[in-house]
Amino acid sequence: MTELAIPERKQPYRKFTPEQMVRALEESKGLIAPAARALGCSRATVRSYIDEYSAVAQAKLDQEEAVKDMAENALYAAILRGEAWAICFYLKCRAKDRGYVERAELTGAQGAPVKIKLAYESSGAGSVPGSGVSPPV
């Protein structure tokens, strides 16, 4: 009896190790384009490593979180220096519960949607029977 040979799935050729990709993402603070430039590859290559290797994906997420932390620390420092833009930005973003908002959000009773009732006056002649709506002039 003849046996069928099942071909092995070939792994794509990888020029870089996952560790090299992690290092490049750490140096670029999680930004793909600078990491690709540092390695001399395309952005698509970096993205494929992110998709294929969980350690590379986690390194990107870790760096994004680190940058968020740095930005928050810089914002807090600006608030402590009394910079009006920073105070205003913080209040608009983080103190909405105290009324610091750019736009008014309307809700009905107990946060329900607002109900709008439209009323049209019928002009008598030319109105659509039973609808209470007059045709456009």
CA dist 89 and 95 (Å) reads: 10
pLDDT in the model for residue 131: 58
The total of structural domains in the chain comes to 1
Residue span of the structural domain in which 49 resides: 18-111
- Look at residue 1 and tell me if it is in a domain: no
The predicted structure's pLDDT at residue 115: 84
Name residue 128's beta-bridge partners.
133
Domain presence at residue 48: yes
Which of these, 62, 65, 31, lies nearest to 46 by C-alpha position? 31
When pLDDT is averaged across residues 56-77 and rounded to a whole number, the result is: 97
Q: What are the helix (H) ranges across the chain?
A: 18-27, 32-39, 43-52, 54-80, 84-94
In a domain, 125, yes or no: no
